[in-house]
Chains A and B, each alone.
Chain A
Amino acid sequence: MQTHYLLTLFGGALSIMALSAFFLGRAKAARERSAGRAMSAQPDQYAWFAVIATVGPALTVAAMGAFLMLLLQARLATGYLLTGSLAIAAFGLWSGMRQVRPNFHARRAIERVIRWALVASASISILTTFGILISIVFEALRFFQLHGLWDFLTGTVWAPGNSFLSAAGRGGDSQSAAQFGSIPLFAGTFLITAIAMLVAIPVGLLSAIYMAEFAPRSVRTIAKPTLEILAGIPTVVYGFFAAITVAPLIVDIADHLGLDASFNNALAPGVVMGIMIIPFISSLSDDVINAVPDSMRQGSLALGLTQGETIRDVVLPAAMPGIISASLLAVSRALGETMIVVMAAGMRPNLTANPLEEMTTVTVRIVAALTGDQEFESAETLSAFALGLVLFVVTLALNLASVLMIRRFREKYRVNHL
């Protein structure tokens, strides 16, 4: 616990310096002012500037140092780094105090710092995307060195079973030991997504049409938030529901019809996922349909068209970019959905179009690969990142397409809230 102790000491010393910077700075500024000199900022602002000058550089150096240590794997003593930072803090305190003089614009300096802090915050979201990309790409590349990209994309057998042997160099012919053909996984993912969309798009869109075009105001104000409850239910709960309630129900029904269904059939997670996605579609579609100008409806009604025809032939085509955008977002959501399929779909890769059979998905295999007992270097673990990379690329494309679609709609009707 040496580092713990050092860190506490460092924190304490830095806070004391910051405090003294604040009070010294304020006192000096107040003295100057009472001496009758016109100051370009308030004493408090000088005080805060002194604090920033003391703490800012010191913390930056400490953080950069720590990062470098991590990067170079150098075990440079933490003590040196922290002492160095404290020295910088002391220097900062001294220079900060020197700046307490009438013609220094402390407020502007502070606001420059604040502005940079805001920019730094904003860059975190960019860093996150890069972080995801980097973490996935590097490991995925390592995977593709072990198993070719082509085999991964076109192979129809996913059998990572013995990969630890080949990783240990004892697998002999690695092709026979472990196979990473991702087609069955993607087939399963797409089938389950398709089932989900088959449930979500009709129900969601029709609900939106009812809420936006037919329902009295009172129904709409209740129905919309009620539907959104569906989106707030954790996916793990849906997964449990799919596995414990829906899957046995489907097996029973299939039994009645003389069909053979697995308890891990693709239909149960698909349907439940569809239900989860209903509010995504209904909510966004409702907004979009409402944003279609009323003059459009009136123009159609004034020609003697019925309300149904007006909706079908005028309102929906006008809202189409928004509806497509919502659907793309929903597809992206379904492709990446994890818990429902982990709990209700199967583990066994299975290339089939029969939704009553057991099949597995990309996300299921990612979870399986990363929660097993393999060491991190094994091909199976790395395969999770390769799968993640494909998932990232596909969802990114869908999301961007969705954004472009909604922009088109927004520009056409000049609505800003979408």
Chain B
Amino acid sequence: MAEEAIKISGKKKSMFIDKVKQLLPDGGNLNLCLTCGACSSGCPATGLEGMDPRKFLRMAALGMDEELLKSEWAWMCTMCQRCIYVCPMKIDIPQLVFNVRGSRPRDERPKGILGSCNMALKHDTCSAMGASEEDFKFVVEDVAEEVRNTQVGWEELQAPVNKQGAMYFLNQNSREPVTEPDEMVPLWKILHLAGADWTYGTKGWAAENYCMFMADTESWKHIVEVKAKAVDDLGCKYWLNTE
């Protein structure tokens, strides 16, 4: 709980909450809060920075924009949406959080997220760890070759790259090709046994999208478009998540 009572200044300010309402279908129900606290009681971020979801929403409703934008709490809420799930009025607090994130000047957002987003914008791979098209293809082919040579019964194991017309375009979190490539092998074995018609693509293969977490909507959109185009260009039917 808060240590001090919230003080409301007399003058009504710009009201950040009104801007967000305009962006959301049905205003994100942001003015329907019954203050029941179901959101806060089941939120793992409750208490961090002396904040909780209900308080965050109430502060927005009271026009305390400056305090919301100054708090780090918007970066401690993971936008997991459990608060919406339990809310009797289905209030979209995570969207409010997302827009608070996006209201901070871009270069002042958390360095790690910013760096990962910027890195993903450098290559058409969309890799937040900066893996290039060549790096990815090399690692996949190298690891597959080693399995074929050393594991009995896996002489025919394939990890196709840029296979035109495959049913599934499999994405891959950068963590595997960059730091622990052997973790990809169980996945390939499963796909092999299932007889799945799948492929990786040198473009758009990276599963992660930090630009979304950073609330940089233009960059987020760019990344999604690059990935969608990669799937379409190979004529694949499904974008398949490994998770």
Q: Do A and B come from one complex?
A: no
Query: Could you tell me which B residues sit within 8 Å of A by CB distance?
Result: none
